[in-house]
Structure 1
């Protein structure tokens, strides 16, 4: 059984998505905006009906690992197959069959820790373009924040050489009523403030932009300078010493493992006894408590009032939100909240939940970066992509492969699009915050922050 709608106009890639859960539907939403020809496969007819009613796509109800189903979805002419069902084994099988019957690239979602240890082997032996693990990536994002707890977000670029750090300007801070130009002259010129959110509006600021109390600011610099800058303007920059995690799923395992490796004490509360036993074996240095994480007395006994960090990682968004609000009320902990659904982002933004992590966004951004790289010319390549401020701003990392219309020209002589900044350049191990006299050279990694969407290559920055 299948539902079919009119095909999208050509120009994009022909992509088959297997699995229409949270990640699959998010990918469908994002990739449809970018003009690709999409087919979806799912065993639930109601999901197929729902998606084909919303988007101009081909929808097929069936087993994504079936040759006949893949053929019906257009595997012989597909450019890319993305398997994001709930089963790691099914995802790997879908990709293996797709590689055998079609001349296409394949991406699989693989979440099980046992497989995650073998990512390189699986990718090479099965010929996968990418293996993506939402829980592992969410844990990495959470750990970055806990290693720099005054930040709301910390994202890495240029293989860790550069960081984009988001923070909120608190009452009484010296940045209030200061222009960005003054900050550069009198505090540091080794960072670049590339985006500011104020009262629901997002700005790509110029030097004349005046910072205010409550502004949510994103800046780019190398890792050392980021910490020096935050310390200089009065923020605490040391990592947390201990962390209380509620929820013992895969994300909790990955996060605890990362924190323990960094010398941070970890306590996990999980209501499933069998899972507690598994975690105790997998994480012998962690304290694992069997109980209901929403029990206030249990949270108190587990040390929530003294915790320096609190991370809500249950599978229920509402539970995570309430846990975080409770933690903020009874402690001074740095809080991190995992949100799976994104229907009420405006409400969530107003709840002051600290650092909020969306695993399915992390997954979709990595895949979209790969898709854009496939569309780009040989002159440049999309390396990474981050959506900022509820998808109103994109931070894109390009690799300048060879000479093009944007290389060897000083930025002051370039005609760049409005609402766009060249945030940093990574060159031979150094991070450059560019001035008007700087230019892009072949081999550079270049980070662009823009309110425009859909950039596939570096030359898209030109007006």
Structure 2
């Protein structure tokens, strides 16, 4: 019935059980074990489980994660958090229900079906879920944010939507090239803060003397409206895309099309299965549904790839998505956002210069890891949001600060902060502050930290 990997000695981390070791499960095993947690994994597939236990120092159990006997064998009684990420929504929800009744753990379910996602609040309450996450919906949200600001490579919301982290590439001849960060700070008057810069494969948390150059990929944080103003002022186009071709008609396409229609963007979906086209026609009456092969040059030209303002390949096959992106960049000026499912070839993908790339598995794992880290923090702090930038070399973390935290009510200039770290933004009751040295953090604020250090669990980790 079950199979052992090497069991970690207790590391001071949490006991975490992961049910399902597909792509998301494997990503979670890799990243959570690196953060010092004791991991047990449950999967019906013995060969897949054996591969996981050989690659990582985890404990594996072969079986059905919704079975009390299997969960008990895997250590549910001592589990702090159970994460169910099998391919079946129903199994994930049932695993969480059984775990909640048979242990004392927090439970997280991956749920992808639109019907369930629309009942998210109800299911969370009735099943006692700590988190219910939908990778396709989260990916669609990420893509729609980029199409709202097509100049950006990536747009990530912070401070409950009041602030955003924007990643852009500086083109040759842009007015920002040759400028020092200190001069920009004076010009921007606290509206925008450049947090991180990637140049020639190296990532920097820039100080005042850092000089921007063409080809730099920069991440800046700003209140929502100020980010667009900053881009417009410095020669970037800021209007949202008005039209979009989506290739592939799966769940992600449905979520994305629905969101884009809400934003007033006209949508065409190309799908090769006739039955799915009929379903989408009913679900999305305002979209144009085209039944055909989305990789056909003839069809793409017929539906207007040369004139559309954006294209999003969502075929489910990474190679097809990449080829469609490269083709679109050759024949049009469309903003292209590429969804990549596999996360093992990020270096190669970066070299292709695809532009905006979205990894649903990363989005899912980061939301879960942020939750896990908040559980290991002190009672005075909590992690609200976390994203990784530049292939996990930079972390941007939003902490809720407690009244008793040692960093409150002191000017930032007096805090002994670790190197390669910026206090990028303070959210005080919805008011966004891009802080200077004289600003103070108060209890109840949420604070965004950007750093090349890793593994922060607590706001106090910023101190030397």
TM normalised by structure 1 equals 0.99
Structure 1 residue matching 2:423: 3-state secondary structure: strand
In structure 1, what is the equivalent of residue 3 of structure 2?
3
In structure 2, what is the equivalent of residue 87 of structure 1?
88
Structure 2 residue matching 1:3: 3-state secondary structure: coil
Contact 2:409 / 2:441 at 8 angstroms: preserved in 1?
yes
Classify 1:8/1:451 alpha carbon distance in 2 versus 1 (closer, same or farther; 3 Å): farther
Task: State the alpha-carbon separation in 2 of the partners of residues 110 and 295 from structure 1.
Answer: 32
Q: What runs of 5+ residues in structure 2 fail to find an aligned partner?
A: none
1:9 deviation in Å? 2.9
Structure 2 residue matching 1:52: 3-state secondary structure: helix
In structure 2, what is the equivalent of residue 258 of structure 1?
259
Structure 1 residue matching 2:49: 3-state secondary structure: helix
Contact 2:281 / 2:289 at 8 angstroms: preserved in 1?
yes
Task: State the alpha-carbon separation in 1 of the partners of residues 430 and 13 from structure 2.
Answer: 35
Structure 2 residue matching 1:2: 3-state secondary structure: coil
Task: State the alpha-carbon separation in 2 of the partners of residues 145 and 201 from structure 1.
Answer: 24
In structure 1, what is the equivalent of residue 453 of structure 2?
452
Contact 2:339 / 2:360 at 8 angstroms: preserved in 1?
yes
In structure 2, what is the equivalent of residue 144 of structure 1?
145
In structure 2, what is the equivalent of residue 419 of structure 1?
420
In structure 2, what is the equivalent of residue 440 of structure 1?
441
Task: State the alpha-carbon separation in 2 of the partners of residues 180 and 135 from structure 1.
Answer: 37
Contact 1:188 / 1:229 at 8 angstroms: preserved in 2?
no
In structure 1, what is the equivalent of residue 29 of structure 2?
28
In structure 1, what is the equivalent of residue 396 of structure 2?
395
Task: State the alpha-carbon separation in 1 of the partners of residues 9 and 173 from structure 2.
Answer: 53
Task: State the alpha-carbon separation in 2 of the partners of residues 160 and 8 from structure 1.
Answer: 41
In structure 1, what is the equivalent of residue 332 of structure 2?
331
Classify 1:140/1:8 alpha carbon distance in 2 versus 1 (closer, same or farther; 3 Å): farther
Q: Does 2:352 correspond to 1:345?
A: no
In structure 2, what is the equivalent of residue 381 of structure 1?
382
Task: State the alpha-carbon separation in 2 of the partners of residues 444 and 172 from structure 1.
Answer: 39
In structure 2, what is the equivalent of residue 362 of structure 1?
363
CA root-mean-square deviation = 0.8
In structure 1, what is the equivalent of residue 268 of structure 2?
267
Task: State the alpha-carbon separation in 1 of the partners of residues 22 and 181 from structure 2.
Answer: 43
Structure 1 residue matching 2:141: 3-state secondary structure: helix
Task: State the alpha-carbon separation in 1 of the partners of residues 77 and 347 from structure 2.
Answer: 42
Contact 2:377 / 2:457 at 8 angstroms: preserved in 1?
yes
The number of aligned residues is: 463
Contact 2:425 / 2:435 at 8 angstroms: preserved in 1?
yes
Task: State the alpha-carbon separation in 1 of the partners of residues 224 and 141 from structure 2.
Answer: 16
1:6 deviation in Å? 2.6
Task: State the alpha-carbon separation in 2 of the partners of residues 378 and 214 from structure 1.
Answer: 43
Deviations 1:395-444, CA, capped at 9 Å, x for gaps = 00000122211111111111000010000000122110110001110010
In structure 2, what is the equivalent of residue 164 of structure 1?
165
Contact 1:244 / 1:310 at 8 angstroms: preserved in 2?
yes
Classify 1:52/1:133 alpha carbon distance in 2 versus 1 (closer, same or farther; 3 Å): same
TM normalised by structure 2 equals 0.99
1:152 deviation in Å? 0.4
Task: State the alpha-carbon separation in 1 of the partners of residues 434 and 427 from structure 2.
Answer: 9
Deviations 1:199-255, CA, capped at 9 Å, x for gaps = 110000001100010000000010111000000000110111000000111111000
1:187 deviation in Å? 4.7
Task: State the alpha-carbon separation in 2 of the partners of residues 104 and 132 from structure 1.
Answer: 17
In structure 1, what is the equivalent of residue 301 of structure 2?
300
Structure 1 residue matching 2:3: 3-state secondary structure: strand
1:189 deviation in Å? 3.3
Contact 1:8 / 1:57 at 8 angstroms: preserved in 2?
no
Task: State the alpha-carbon separation in 1 of the partners of residues 344 and 376 from structure 2.
Answer: 30
1:8 deviation in Å? 3.8
Contact 2:159 / 2:430 at 8 angstroms: preserved in 1?
no
Structure 2 residue matching 1:139: 3-state secondary structure: helix
Structure 1 residue matching 2:87: 3-state secondary structure: coil
Contact 1:380 / 1:402 at 8 angstroms: preserved in 2?
no
Classify 1:284/1:417 alpha carbon distance in 2 versus 1 (closer, same or farther; 3 Å): same
Deviations 1:338-387, CA, capped at 9 Å, x for gaps = 00111111111111211100000000000001001111111110111101
Q: What runs of 5+ residues in structure 1 fail to find an aligned partner?
A: none
Task: State the alpha-carbon separation in 2 of the partners of residues 103 and 186 from structure 1.
Answer: 53
Contact 1:183 / 1:189 at 8 angstroms: preserved in 2?
no
Task: State the alpha-carbon separation in 2 of the partners of residues 122 and 280 from structure 1.
Answer: 28
Task: State the alpha-carbon separation in 2 of the partners of residues 402 and 457 from structure 1.
Answer: 14
Task: State the alpha-carbon separation in 1 of the partners of residues 7 and 82 from structure 2.
Answer: 20
In structure 1, what is the equivalent of residue 292 of structure 2?
291
In structure 1, what is the equivalent of residue 187 of structure 2?
186
In structure 2, what is the equivalent of residue 203 of structure 1?
204
1:188 deviation in Å? 4.7
